[in-house]
Structure 1
Amino acid sequence: MSTPEQEAGRAGDAEDVRRAFDEMPLAQVALDGPEHRFVAANAAYRAIVGRADVIGRSVREVTPEVSGQPFFEMLDQVCATGEPVVAREWRVRLNRGADGASEDLYLDVNVLPRPSATGETTGLLVYLADATARVRQQQAAQREAAEAERRYEAARDVVVELQEALLPTALPVLPGATVAARYLVAAVDQAAGDDWFDAVPLRDGRLALVVGDIVGHGVAATAAMGQLRVVLSEMLRETADARHAVAWADRMAARTPTMRAATVGVVVLDPATGALDYLTCGHPAPLVVQADGSARYLPASGGGPLGTEGDRISAQSTLDPGALVVLYSDGLVKRPGEVLSTGLDRLARVAGDAVGNRALPAGAPTSAAERACQLSVKQLTRTGYDDDVTMLACERRAESVGAWRWRRDPAGLDDLRPRLREWLAGIGVEHRDVQHLEIALTELVANAVEHAYADRPPGEGPGPVEVVAELEADGVARIRVDDEGRWQPPFGPVPTSGRGLWLVESMVEEMAIVRGGTSDDPAGAGTAVTVRHRLHRPALPGAEPPAVPLRREGTFAAVLEGGPPRRLVVSGPVDIATAEELSERVAYAGRGGLYPLVVDLSGVEILASAGVRVLLELRDRLAVHGHPLQLVAAADTPAAQVLDLLDLDHEARPLASPDIIS
């Protein structure tokens, strides 16, 4: 018997409707009441939940495992508000199958209210589409993309690491010029490797500045950059002629496809006269910034990129005292959708403000060259950049670095190192060079005090020792230590002696001794020891502080802490003036070697050979009683460096922050 709905054409046969509902691929259910009991559920839904006995049960009874995955709360919300809710790729964990194993599914969910004749929500209609396959594909694609990104980042890291290894690690420190640099690797969607810079002291006292740009990115470009940089720097050192060096690089680029069309700017400055000789081989023209902040670009010298036809023409100009010459790559001034002149004007304005001390942030560098690099790169890249960025600035000092003199009569070490650090701080020397010169100078002065005046009567004390330090035109510090005494010839080898001059030779590049005043040469007067060491400052800030910190030198102290084993914590300078006191302290602390003893040198600011002698004597005393010498030193300190040189085992401690004088 047909129903009125069937007769009106609004409904089909009940069995046909049930069959069609059950065969629909979209999972559909009808729920009644606030408990959300199933009144209808098709086969697609039963397949999702993995069970057929759902009619008459509540959703919480059918899928209790989704409690806490706020699915029930979503159903309650639609019942309470009468507003439908749509959720895409809803992650649920269901216990499906006979073994009850849990499985993650992703469902697209539509929940609609079922209103009564009076408009009240008495139930829900829920439509579920299994999106698990789609989500799995997306996840697989994301994993593949992440892996591709990881491989790209790894390859890019190799290129960046290679490039950093090929770029200069240090800049020269010269008496008449201050050099600073900044470099930023290309943006993340680029591969680094196309820019380079160099600062090369020439044998005639001039300085060559180089900034270049290779066409392309990646490992091949980085390798080409490294080759060109080496060729240019070596030819500049050999010939002191910019045109000749560029001609060599030009011929090399013509034969090598990865180098062809590279651009390069070379400036040769004579700090003494200010004379500038420069070439712009397809490269942006140098910028000159006066001490008052006014700026101008030098005319291009002419000539195309390397490896292309054309003459290599040089041009000349003059740099005033206190002024800067700036070389840079186009990555600093070029921006998409902007004409080049806009970027050039911006660089001139920002660099001029930095040099002229206008609108500088707190803590800006005192060096005009450093200020110009820091502020220009920071401000010109703050909106982004998509190519390597390089800037190299050189300031002609208004006054050359003067000589430093130190003399004590009788000799003493109280202010030797602080005054040396003060002189080196004024010229911006890297921390490691300062440490090496401190150790070398301490040893040389102590050597003169101990040996040059050994024939003096007791109580008279040592005679004068004079130190003169000069910064030569090529950036080499020349330090001479003179005494006026007569040295006694050694009577034979002493196991704990003879390390002072060896330490000095290990710390500097050259050492020469002119002996006089020995008992074999009574007419002679005094001995002069001269050391030479090339000074540097970090090429790129970060690896080292830009200048030596002006730290306070503490007084010697040796504090005994309880054990076992006992621990003697030593701080301050350990040199000829304090070695005897250290010897007494270690003898007392270890009872002449009877007790094990740890000597902590982490707070030691200088460890001279006189202090090393005490440690070796302690080692021998401890060995008699079967105890090892146990030393502790902070990493990368003068004490640690000396222990490493002497191959004395020690425990390394992290380096503490230096005490800086503001």
Structure 2
Amino acid sequence: MADPHTAWSSGDPQAVLDGFEQLPGFVWIFEGPELRVVAANPAVRAAVGNRSGLIGEPFRRAVPELAGQHIFELLDQALRGVRSHGYEQRVLTDRNGDGSLTEAFYTFDMAPWHNPDGSVRGVIVQAVDATPVVAARQAAETAAATAERRYRQAAGLVLELQRSLLPDMLPVLPRVQVAAHYLVASSDLVAGGDWFDAVPLPDGRLALTVGDVVGHGAAAAAAMGQLRTVARQALQSGGELPQVLAVLDDFAARADVTRAATTCLAVLDPDTGTLEAASHGHPAPLVIGATGEARHLPLTPTGPLGTGAGPAPLHAHRLRADDVLLLYTDGLIERPRQSLHDGARILADAAAAARRAILDAATTIPQRLPDRICTLVTERLALAGGGFGDDTTLLAAHLLPQPLAPLHVTLPADTTALRPMRRHLSDWLVRIGAGELDASDLVHAVGEAVTNAVDHAYPSGTPGTFTLHGTLDHQGVVHVTCADQGRWRPPVADPGGRGRGLTMIRGLVDRAEVRHTEAGTTVSMHHHIGQATNVTTVAAAQAAGPHKQAAVVEEFTAAVVETPTGRVLRVQGPVDLVTGPRLRAAIMQASRGGSLPLTIDLTPVTHLSSTGVRILHEVARIVAQLRVTATPQSPAHAVLELTGLRHLLPEAAANGSDDGFHR
């Protein structure tokens, strides 16, 4: 038996050495304050490129490229008796001796190497190469990120597909306010088959329809689009409700993908409140009264479309003034372990509560009653059921107690009337429910007509007036006239100055006419307006919410801001006959008479009249390297596009466009 005082405690020295040389892990042993390499197994020597003279060298001199990688600092810490660990630490080494660094990842343990008396002799480092594990995880993370990106792209494509097949705008009408919310199901990333529509009829009535095609996917979405188009065409051709449903039923029977679709169609006479409705396998509409009472219309549905179920029975009803009619698809009321009857009752309770809600002025919930009901009902039912298992459509129509009053205002034909004119017109457009873009176009167009009346109708120093009259017809068209009692002076033939007002008007509205008579001049503008539909996911609807439009700033300001890319003149408020000279002075001052490059930010501008356009054309010939910025959604952007100033926008410059204009 070997003497324990002379035998090596770890076993046979040669066996230990042979095992050390074949260890799959990495082992370094450093001695003394200089951390001289006294042992390194073949695996670790290969990791640094099998350098000659490695054993016996101070580690800092042997592997100098580790400086700055926090390796030497950890070794010094171990020399002071503090053990440390690293997990998948990135280490760069010059394995080829050519100065290029190779990346590897190591999980390591740095421990003090003690003398028999307990003092620290050096450091022992054990490590394993984690590079394959890290590479595999990074590949998995990249794949997951790619999958997530593709998912989001697919979700975006689904929403775009839904939006392209559904109406992008709902009509704005004098007696009925309409809103719709379409929520893509939480559990599906495929296009659904729900549809909705609101169609003004030639006789002034309004047709409202919702429907649901069986299944999901592109085929169902295409079938939905076909059925909606067929229904709209039949309605606009003057068909009565039974004939329209017969056309839909016949069309649905021709293909498997359209067969068994359900629909509810209602036709409302806003003047009398008379409502006719019929259903092919679809839930009955809900009526919410002025005091919040809810009642489902007693429809007797026939079978789904295209199944040979026969004509749907008509139900006649009379809505009272201030009633709200709700049409919806069954995705709104279907819940696991819950009957459709219970779902319909929950919908009625939620809609009644939304109707009775008295909102604080600071809330982000829409003030228009049909928008408010759609928003609160879909939010609350999604919350109650943990989302929707199917696509969900809610279409609301509010029969107004009184028709919307027309606009009629007479103001003096001078520059002091421009601001009150815009305020009167903007307030009226808000009251009738015009969308933000339509309202902006109309305010700009009418502003040009008024500017012409102020500028041209009356001789200098002669008092005069102009009158604005605005109406909204049963097809959702706004008609605004601007009439004066003077005679317009001929415009100056200047392509960069006068004469652009009428061009702007015709570019901003659907149709415009100018009529000169002995009694004066009348500019008539006609523009079809609408309210944007809401097609989104449940999560996006809850995260974003409908926020109120910020208050319009009517004070003109122009401030210079020095930015890393150069000097910017930020302009805010209206640019018209009154503020135009201030804009020109600000541009010339900011550019030091045209000698300095300048960017003019027109994004906050609320009104860019032909006066401002003329000034921009003038200074573009004077200011070196003039650029104008305006977001595509801003009022100024459309005007710049219309009036030959597009070349000043950064995107046009990037595309090399100069519109034939040279400075």
| TM-score (norm: length of structure 1) | 0.72
The corresponding residue for 1:647 is 644
The corresponding residue for 2:357 is 357
Aligned amino acid, residue 428 of structure 2:
W
Matched, 1:605 2:606: yes
The corresponding residue for 1:122 is none
- Provide the rounded CA distance (Å) in 1 between the counterparts of 2:589 and 2:133: 74
- Provide the rounded CA distance (Å) in 2 between the counterparts of 1:652 and 1:302: 57
The corresponding residue for 1:384 is 387
Q: Indicate conservation of the 8 Å contact 1:425/1:548, yes or no.
A: no
Q: Indicate conservation of the 8 Å contact 2:154/2:189, yes or no.
A: no
- Provide the rounded CA distance (Å) in 2 between the counterparts of 1:614 and 1:43: 81
Q: Deviations over 1:457-479 (max 9, x none)?
A: x63333x3222111112221111
Deviates most, 269-278 or 150-159: 150-159
Once the two structures are superposed, the pairs formed by residues 66-81 of structure 1 within 5 Å of their partners are none
The corresponding residue for 1:534 is 528
Using the TM superposition, give the Cα deviation of residue 330 of structure 1 relative to its aligned residue in structure 2, in angstroms.
Answer: 2.2
The corresponding residue for 1:198 is 197
Using the TM superposition, give the Cα deviation of residue 97 of structure 1 relative to its aligned residue in structure 2, in angstroms.
Answer: 12
- Provide the rounded CA distance (Å) in 1 between the counterparts of 2:401 and 2:480: 24
The corresponding residue for 1:321 is 321
Aligned amino acid, residue 432 of structure 1:
L
The corresponding residue for 2:214 is 215
- Provide the rounded CA distance (Å) in 1 between the counterparts of 2:424 and 2:520: 24
- Provide the rounded CA distance (Å) in 1 between the counterparts of 2:614 and 2:411: 26
Deviates most, 320-329 or 626-635: 626-635
Using the TM superposition, give the Cα deviation of residue 148 of structure 1 relative to its aligned residue in structure 2, in angstroms.
Answer: 5.1
Larger radius of gyration: 1
Using the TM superposition, give the Cα deviation of residue 104 of structure 1 relative to its aligned residue in structure 2, in angstroms.
Answer: 9.2
Identity score, percent: 35
Aligned amino acid, residue 503 of structure 1:
M
DSSP 3-state at the match of 1:532: strand
Matched, 1:173 2:178: no
Using the TM superposition, give the Cα deviation of residue 451 of structure 1 relative to its aligned residue in structure 2, in angstroms.
Answer: 3.7
Q: Deviations over 1:296-323 (max 9, x none)?
A: 2223341222332212313222221111
DSSP 3-state at the match of 2:534: coil
Deviates most, 326-335 or 406-415: 406-415
Aligned amino acid, residue 291 of structure 1:
A
Aligned amino acid, residue 555 of structure 2:
G
DSSP 3-state at the match of 2:432: coil
Deviates most, 639-648 or 599-608: 599-608
Using the TM superposition, give the Cα deviation of residue 423 of structure 1 relative to its aligned residue in structure 2, in angstroms.
Answer: 1.0
CA spacing shift, 1:380–1:567, aligned 2, 3 Å: closer
Q: Can you give the 5+ residue segments of structure 1 that lack an aligned partner in the other structure?
A: 4-12, 29-41, 52-62, 81-86, 111-126, 518-524, 655-662
Q: Indicate conservation of the 8 Å contact 1:574/1:605, yes or no.
A: no
Q: Can you give the 5+ residue segments of structure 2 that lack an aligned partner in the other structure?
A: 3-11, 28-40, 51-62, 110-125, 536-540, 652-663
Aligned amino acid, residue 437 of structure 1:
L
CA spacing shift, 1:108–1:439, aligned 2, 3 Å: closer
Q: Indicate conservation of the 8 Å contact 1:574/1:604, yes or no.
A: no
The corresponding residue for 1:368 is 369
- Provide the rounded CA distance (Å) in 1 between the counterparts of 2:589 and 2:132: 74
Once the two structures are superposed, the pairs formed by residues 24-35 of structure 1 within 5 Å of their partners are none
CA spacing shift, 1:560–1:49, aligned 2, 3 Å: closer
- Provide the rounded CA distance (Å) in 2 between the counterparts of 1:406 and 1:24: 94
DSSP 3-state at the match of 1:381: helix
Once the two structures are superposed, the pairs formed by residues 6-17 of structure 1 within 5 Å of their partners are none
- Provide the rounded CA distance (Å) in 1 between the counterparts of 2:629 and 2:101: 57
Aligned amino acid, residue 353 of structure 1:
A
DSSP 3-state at the match of 1:511: strand
Matched, 1:437 2:427: no
- Provide the rounded CA distance (Å) in 1 between the counterparts of 2:165 and 2:570: 45
Q: Indicate conservation of the 8 Å contact 2:456/2:489, yes or no.
A: no
CA spacing shift, 1:350–1:410, aligned 2, 3 Å: same
CA spacing shift, 1:420–1:561, aligned 2, 3 Å: same
Aligned amino acid, residue 273 of structure 2:
G
DSSP 3-state at the match of 1:429: coil
The corresponding residue for 1:634 is 630
- Provide the rounded CA distance (Å) in 1 between the counterparts of 2:629 and 2:436: 18
CA spacing shift, 1:586–1:97, aligned 2, 3 Å: closer
Q: Deviations over 1:492-531 (max 9, x none)?
A: 95654332222222111122344310xxxxxxx3333322
Using the TM superposition, give the Cα deviation of residue 324 of structure 1 relative to its aligned residue in structure 2, in angstroms.
Answer: 0.8
Once the two structures are superposed, the pairs formed by residues 250-329 of structure 1 within 5 Å of their partners are 250-313=249-312, 314-329=314-329
CA spacing shift, 1:45–1:346, aligned 2, 3 Å: farther
| TM-score (norm: length of structure 2) | 0.72
Q: Indicate conservation of the 8 Å contact 1:571/1:604, yes or no.
A: yes
Q: Indicate conservation of the 8 Å contact 1:156/1:218, yes or no.
A: no
Using the TM superposition, give the Cα deviation of residue 203 of structure 1 relative to its aligned residue in structure 2, in angstroms.
Answer: 1.6
The corresponding residue for 1:460 is 462
- Provide the rounded CA distance (Å) in 2 between the counterparts of 1:128 and 1:584: 70
**Matched length:** 619
Using the TM superposition, give the Cα deviation of residue 229 of structure 1 relative to its aligned residue in structure 2, in angstroms.
Answer: 2.3
Q: Deviations over 1:180-220 (max 9, x none)?
A: 22222222653233322222222211222222222222333
- Provide the rounded CA distance (Å) in 2 between the counterparts of 1:594 and 1:21: 82
Of the three residues 424, 429, 434, the one matched with 1:424 is 429
Deviates most, 310-319 or 241-250: 241-250
Using the TM superposition, give the Cα deviation of residue 105 of structure 1 relative to its aligned residue in structure 2, in angstroms.
Answer: 9.4
Q: Deviations over 1:378-426 (max 9, x none)?
A: 1111222232222111111111101111112556624111111111122
The corresponding residue for 2:223 is 224
Aligned amino acid, residue 385 of structure 1:
F
- Provide the rounded CA distance (Å) in 2 between the counterparts of 1:566 and 1:27: 60
Aligned amino acid, residue 326 of structure 2:
V
CA spacing shift, 1:549–1:248, aligned 2, 3 Å: farther
- Provide the rounded CA distance (Å) in 1 between the counterparts of 2:194 and 2:393: 7
Once the two structures are superposed, the pairs formed by residues 439-518 of structure 1 within 5 Å of their partners are 439-454=444-459, 459-462=461-464, 464-485=465-486, 487=487, 490=490, 495=495, 496-517=497-518
DSSP 3-state at the match of 1:468: strand
Q: Indicate conservation of the 8 Å contact 1:429/1:548, yes or no.
A: no
